[in-house]
Structure 1
Amino acid sequence: MIDIIQPPKAKQVLKTLSMHDDDRHDDYFWLNDKENQEVIDYLNSENDYYDAVTSKYKAFENTLFEEMKARIKEDDESVPYKFNGYWYIVKYKKGKDYPIYFRKKDTLENPDELLFDCNVMAEGHDYFKLAGLSVSPDNTMIAFGIDTVGRRNYTLQIKSLITDEIFFDAIESTTGSATWANDNKTIFYTVKDEKTLRSDKVFKHKLGSSTSADTLVFHEEDDTFGVAIYKSKSKKYLIIACYSTLTNEYYTLNADTPDGEFSVFQERVRGLEYSISHYDDQFYIVTNADGAVNFKLMKTPENTTKFNNWTEVIPHREEVLIEDVEIFKDFLVISERSNGLNHIRIKRWDGTEDYYLPFDNETYTAYTATNVEFDTKTLRYGYNSMTTPSSSIDFNMVTKQKTILKEQEVLDSNFNKDNYVSERVWAISTDGTKVPISMVYRKGIKKDGTNPVLLYAYGSYGHTIDPSFSSIRLSLLDRGFVYAIAHVRGGEYLGRMWYEGGKLLQKKNTFTDFIACSKFLIAQNYTSPDHLYALGGSAGGLLVGAVINEAPELYNGVIAAVPFVDVLTTMLDDSIPLTTGEYDEWGNPNDMTYYEYMKSYSPYDNVKKQDYPHILITTGLHDSQVQYWEPAKWVAKLRTYKTDNNNLLLKTNMKAGHGGASGRFEALREDAEEYAFLLNLENITT
């Protein structure tokens, strides 16, 4: 497709980057300076070019946006949950972009108490995010964080729920959350390094005192670790969590004595991962200790918490991954995964019962939801599948009766879940590994190679993309698209080893798995290269970037959202947010072995003089996770190297960060833009 509109051409300024006696030449390194007006001008010129190229289907894009929006119930509210005597509810109002937070005392029949109206708070801001709501034990105060940039750097405040007054000056550069001690006078909060945005310090604040007098409680000096603080569900302990990709360490303090000293739970040992939950006079520990790759459950007395006191509760099983536990007064609930599928296991503490909730297909997602009450027999969980909208369910763990509290409404008279089919199939990767693919499509499609297929994957950090329902996706399915998720290595879909097999010096398995899935869909006549599309965001953007360098001929189009594509340069710059904490995921390129391996797959370093598919790339100027200059540089280099006339588009949100637009419906516009890009390539314009 030849566009008569000429794309922007970024100037080339040679910069040589040297490491391990190797020189890399980067003509677009200068884009790494958003204070430079030339950089802003270039990003704006790319946005102008994007607008010009997409203008021919802008009306269709608006149609898609209105269609997506129309399926969503505008006047809506969350399922209430009870905590410490109050029911908490989030409501949405017709025509409003942001949530409104309420609570009701004792019963749902009591009047609403307004906590926050984010629509009012967002006025005057291009971006707005409220986070970290934390109510004091006596229910009279609430801590909250606000981000008005999109960089996930929150201003922390506390207000009275009696008078609505703000208690003290705002605290900048926090994670947005705070934890209350049991005295209703002391809060603990986490501060970020202003440059790297690493969470590295825990402070203590006494209500009524100046924030300048706040006490530094903990400083995480290892720049490969982050830190957080929370309270145990039992309300007995304040817990400081130190975390890296491969290692954990915790410190505890009785929440009744906030001026005491935190005690280390178990000193960090490289490679030892563990998480802790408190019950009665014991701590329960999910851990990979003693080679438990898929984790096991252990316990230890609360006064002797070192590793040599840990005893086994649920042993390690090679075929079952323990993902999480929920502690209740009478029950232990374990979230497990086997053969890629979620399972919820319920055990009585007295050992009289041990059973699983029943689920019956291969493309579903089930998860424990908001369970903040400790002394309850009700488990709240969520369920959906690729064909079934989300449900919120209360399950009585004694009677085994379930109550569906709410099923997601799809406001489309033509929607019937029986019109869609989901299935799980398996591709064979280059090393013989079987790779699962979850997919959904309308009934009646023919396997004749003509179906447009959107293949999505992430494949990093052990983050599993579960097969779930999306009302937005119906705009593709109803126009003939097949939507597929490639459960590639790097996630944990098939257990912890699935993650280990797609990181560090095995990262390329993520890419070869995706290519294998693409070839499988073509070989099985679901689609063909003329109708196959790839989608990935953030680390998934790295995935699709690497894939189109290696196998561009498989795809007609690609969408890379906020893509992490300049891997080597970023991982060599420890001043960039997240870099040092990522060494255990990608490797440290100051080590020549990792340097050479990263260089061999980094999308930016491996752009070639070859034909590429149509490409849409998105980013945010204030992105804290993947800096805007990575996709900007990638586009500039692709423009120079690619030998085709296919569209290459860069859309920069100049007012947001990694998560895109903050408004409930404004975010849908970004989905509509992506879908319009795909559908236009299929010549589908209605």
Structure 2
Amino acid sequence: MKKCLLLSTVCVTFAAHAQNSKTAMTENIVPPVAAIKAKQLEKHGDIRTDNYYWLNERENPEVIDYLNKENEYYQKSTAHTKQLQEELFQEMKGRIKEDDSSVPYFYNGYWYITRFETGKDYPIHTRRKGSMDAKEEVLFDCNEMAKGHSYFNLGGLNISEDNKWAAFGVDTVSRRQYTIQVKNLETGEILPFKIENTTGGSTWAGDNKTLFYTRKDEVTLRSDKIYKHKLGEDPAKDAVIYHEKDDTYSTFIYKEKSKKYLVIGSSSTLTSEYRILDAKKPDGEFKVFQKRTRGLEYGISHYGDKWYIVTNKDKATNFKLMTTPEGKTEKENWVDLIGHRKDVLLEDIDIFKDYLVISERSNGLNKIRIRPWKGEEYYLPFDIETYTCGTGTNPDFDTDILRYSYQSMATPSSVIDFNMKTKEKKVLKEQEILGGKFDKNNYTEERIWATAQDGTKVPISIVYRKGIKKDGSNPFLLYAYGSYGYSMDPYFSSIRLSLLDRGFVYAIAHIRGGEDLGREWYDNGKLLQKKNTFTDFIDCSKYVIAQGYTSPQHLYAQGGSAGGLLMGAIVNMAPQLYHGVIAQVPFVDVITTMLDDSIPLTTGEYDEWGNPNDKEYYDYMKSYSPYDNVTAQVYPNMLVTTGLHDSQVQYWEPAKWVALLRVVKKGNNQLYLDTNMEAGHGGASGRFEALKEDAKEFSFLLDLEGIKN
């Protein structure tokens, strides 16, 4: 139901000398200072003065000028690292198999493959009829489609059941507002109509001519309306078939794996609701599966004459699996199939003709459980504690083959077909690391446990090149996210090798606010317990220092989006622990954002952060909101990144934060704001362009360590 970084030791004295040298090089470069235009913000009788509120005027030339000046300051100040950035970029690119392709999957008579060509940034989506020996049919060449655009993303590719029509969404701004179009796969013609301001996703009804899709509110970007389009008709006349009026919910539509039902979903952080309709009767009325009840979360899967429901019903904090007859969908008819377990989180299911596959999580680790409808159940075996596994693309019911993925901190990602009957597995593909230098046996991966200030044990996944000494001299990058119940599982990164092979230790702190150790792990890191997320990270930082992995002179932290909020909080709370911090698209102006329901996605966040219109939540948010807690102290060296078109965290949050830090912070540590003037929350869209952003971030860290190549 439902991201990083060690060479030979560099002593503290050398690091300080390197820092002093750089200061001498850049002392004549003057950072920009944003104009102060005080604005008073009042709530609950409390008055906050925001001197940089005006930076939210996206169309104001003065704002653009300020962002450009910050970019110029960053570029000039880091000009001495340009060669290193280029070396890193070429190194990262050199590990990537450019003429790569996905593992084919078979669906409705066709093999589908996504492939890349040498020197090209974007994927090519293809299919072959019946056999992989059949002639390749190019559905979409995104390299051609991206020409003339600084950003391009194709999403929501959706094929009709008769294999004739492909609906797809395109975003050329990076604001996640997609334009849907339809392509005739028999003629190659793209139909002339365009449907603007959608999520990009859509689904075909069983009649192969009716397309359902989701539009967004123009201001808040909330997915609020489901439309129905008939091929051949004017999309301006498309009917709204469902309007989600509650602004704390978002809505979406899809077709069940069985293809029998169309499903409209509505969800908030804590509550779910679904409506179902026979896919072959698209003009019928959707029926509510189970009406929303605050706190009741559920997800539905259809098979045979039953519905299978993953739900937290009956206080099942870690969720359980229930079933109900096809025609009796109300919760009073639901019956337990797999009961609630306090120490096991039930995350999802995959249904096959002869098997039920359950994705679970226990003790912070992924588990895949195979349960034949007839016979004994068993788990797929995994031998280490720093891995990630998950079921993959499994569109067919009538098969013994389960496709899943596997990777660890030192093991490249693999796609595996597992025969659930014979228990034989076949590795279809392992991520190929080019360059001839990578050997996973050269790296050590560990899982260690830090003790938080309240006694809670917090796991940390670590990887480093063999041979390091735990004498406090190792550069160490600690990453975390810690929000929305998103589990930050251990994963492999070929990009990360550029740090590991230069002596960095890289680690992921599995802090509260994620769902790494179950639903309670999430519940204990949100709302009025959000500070646990921040103190967990600080305690993990103290632990790796105490264990000799690193020291404050060599410890770095990184996080993005809500993880950027984490970065903002820790530099206020414990700046002395870190030599440098990278805050990517950081959510740092918590109160002002959460009080402005015109900002995209705000209202749907109340169950995550709280509603500051309630004084209790207002006061708690104010006590940790990074922007509201900047003080006159020495902050670590900091690189802050954002995108002008970001729809998730508006650019002005990091811009305001940096502007305030410039005039308040003590000392001469570096502070940079790097704004991508053409991208949004996810950064650059091309696979190689994105590497340039990684190279900039890595060069920031390596430069602080005095590592020049």
1:61 aligns with 2:108: no
Structure-2 residue corresponding to 1:410: 433
Structure-2 residue corresponding to 1:259: 283
In the alignment, the residues of structure 2 paired with residue 90 and residue 159 of structure 1 have an alpha-carbon distance, to the nearest angstrom, of 17
1:592 aligns with 2:591: no
State the Cα distance separating 1:398 from its structure 2 match: 1.2
Deviations 1:359-401 (A, max 9, x none): 0110000000111122221110000000110100001111111
In the alignment, the residues of structure 2 paired with residue 182 and residue 255 of structure 1 have an alpha-carbon distance, to the nearest angstrom, of 5
1:6 aligns with 2:30: yes
Deviations 1:518-566 (A, max 9, x none): 0001111100000000000000000011001010000000000000000
In the alignment, the residues of structure 1 paired with residue 471 and residue 35 of structure 2 have an alpha-carbon distance, to the nearest angstrom, of 46
Structure-1 residue corresponding to 2:668: 645
Structure-1 residue corresponding to 2:207: 183
Correspondences of 1:67-466 after superposition (within 5 Å): 67-350=91-374, 352-466=375-489
Equivalent in 670, 678, 681 of residue 704 of structure 2: 681
Equivalent in 516, 531, 534 of residue 511 of structure 1: 534
State the Cα distance separating 1:58 from its structure 2 match: 0.6
Equivalent in 9, 12, 24 of residue 48 of structure 2: 24
Structure-2 residue corresponding to 1:671: 694
In the alignment, the residues of structure 1 paired with residue 674 and residue 475 of structure 2 have an alpha-carbon distance, to the nearest angstrom, of 24
State the Cα distance separating 1:330 from its structure 2 match: 1.4
Q: Give secondary structure in 1 for the equivalent of 2:78.
A: helix
1:492 aligns with 2:498: no
In the alignment, the residues of structure 1 paired with residue 589 and residue 395 of structure 2 have an alpha-carbon distance, to the nearest angstrom, of 41
Structure-1 residue corresponding to 2:560: 537
Q: Name the aligned partner's letter for residue 650 of structure 2.
A: Q
State the Cα distance separating 1:137 from its structure 2 match: 0.3
State the Cα distance separating 1:269 from its structure 2 match: 0.4
Q: Name the aligned partner's letter for residue 329 of structure 1.
A: K
Deviations 1:653-672 (A, max 9, x none): 00000000000110000100
Deviations 1:297-325 (A, max 9, x none): 00111101000000000000001000110
1:607 aligns with 2:635: no
Q: Give secondary structure in 2 for the equivalent of 1:289.
A: coil
Deviations 1:384-437 (A, max 9, x none): 000110100001111111110000000021211000000000111111111110
Q: Name the aligned partner's letter for residue 156 of structure 2.
A: G
State the Cα distance separating 1:444 from its structure 2 match: 0.7
In the alignment, the residues of structure 2 paired with residue 137 and residue 610 of structure 1 have an alpha-carbon distance, to the nearest angstrom, of 62
In the alignment, the residues of structure 2 paired with residue 27 and residue 376 of structure 1 have an alpha-carbon distance, to the nearest angstrom, of 62
Equivalent in 37, 41, 59 of residue 65 of structure 2: 41
Q: Name the aligned partner's letter for residue 395 of structure 1.
A: F
In the alignment, the residues of structure 2 paired with residue 33 and residue 663 of structure 1 have an alpha-carbon distance, to the nearest angstrom, of 28
In the alignment, the residues of structure 2 paired with residue 78 and residue 296 of structure 1 have an alpha-carbon distance, to the nearest angstrom, of 33
Q: Give secondary structure in 2 for the equivalent of 1:541.
A: helix
Q: Name the aligned partner's letter for residue 294 of structure 2.
A: R
In the alignment, the residues of structure 1 paired with residue 635 and residue 236 of structure 2 have an alpha-carbon distance, to the nearest angstrom, of 55
Q: Name the aligned partner's letter for residue 528 of structure 2.
A: L
- Could you state the TM-score of these two structures normalised by the residue count of structure 2? 0.96
In the alignment, the residues of structure 1 paired with residue 57 and residue 187 of structure 2 have an alpha-carbon distance, to the nearest angstrom, of 45
Q: Is residue 186–residue 207 contact of structure 1 (8 Å, CA) maintained in 2?
A: yes
Structure-1 residue corresponding to 2:12: none
Equivalent in 621, 634, 637 of residue 644 of structure 2: 621
State the Cα distance separating 1:345 from its structure 2 match: 0.5
Q: Give secondary structure in 1 for the equivalent of 2:144.
A: helix
Q: Give secondary structure in 2 for the equivalent of 1:671.
A: helix
Q: Is residue 455–residue 484 contact of structure 1 (8 Å, CA) maintained in 2?
A: yes
Q: Name the aligned partner's letter for residue 418 of structure 1.
A: N
Spell out structure 1 runs of 4+ moving beyond 6 A.
Answer: none
Q: Name the aligned partner's letter for residue 616 of structure 1.
A: L
Deviations 1:632-659 (A, max 9, x none): 0000000011001010000000000000
In the alignment, the residues of structure 1 paired with residue 398 and residue 253 of structure 2 have an alpha-carbon distance, to the nearest angstrom, of 23
- Name the Cα RMSD after superposition: 0.6
Q: Give secondary structure in 1 for the equivalent of 2:76.
A: helix
Structure-2 residue corresponding to 1:575: 598
Q: Name the aligned partner's letter for residue 612 of structure 1.
A: Y
Deviations 1:486-509 (A, max 9, x none): 000000111000000000000000
Q: Is residue 196–residue 578 contact of structure 1 (8 Å, CA) maintained in 2?
A: yes
Q: Is residue 167–residue 207 contact of structure 1 (8 Å, CA) maintained in 2?
A: no
Q: Give secondary structure in 2 for the equivalent of 1:615.
A: strand
Q: Is residue 571–residue 579 contact of structure 1 (8 Å, CA) maintained in 2?
A: yes
Deviations 1:136-169 (A, max 9, x none): 0000110000000000000001110011112341
Q: Give secondary structure in 1 for the equivalent of 2:703.
A: helix
Equivalent in 680, 683, 688 of residue 657 of structure 1: 680
Range moving further from structure 2, 459-468 or 372-381: 372-381
Structure 1: which 5+ runs fail to align?
none
Q: Is residue 321–residue 337 contact of structure 1 (8 Å, CA) maintained in 2?
A: yes
In the alignment, the residues of structure 2 paired with residue 323 and residue 168 of structure 1 have an alpha-carbon distance, to the nearest angstrom, of 41
Q: Report which structure shows greater RCO (CA 8 Å, sep ≥6).
A: 2
Q: Give secondary structure in 2 for the equivalent of 1:633.
A: helix
Q: Give secondary structure in 2 for the equivalent of 1:72.
A: coil
In the alignment, the residues of structure 1 paired with residue 280 and residue 356 of structure 2 have an alpha-carbon distance, to the nearest angstrom, of 25
Q: Give secondary structure in 2 for the equivalent of 1:67.
A: helix
In the alignment, the residues of structure 1 paired with residue 201 and residue 604 of structure 2 have an alpha-carbon distance, to the nearest angstrom, of 21
In the alignment, the residues of structure 2 paired with residue 521 and residue 365 of structure 1 have an alpha-carbon distance, to the nearest angstrom, of 23
Range moving further from structure 2, 411-420 or 134-143: 411-420
Structure 2: which 5+ runs fail to align?
1-18
Q: Give secondary structure in 2 for the equivalent of 1:640.
A: helix
In the alignment, the residues of structure 1 paired with residue 380 and residue 600 of structure 2 have an alpha-carbon distance, to the nearest angstrom, of 41
Q: Is residue 168–residue 211 contact of structure 1 (8 Å, CA) maintained in 2?
A: no
- Could you state the TM-score of these two structures normalised by the residue count of structure 1? 0.99
State the Cα distance separating 1:213 from its structure 2 match: 1.7
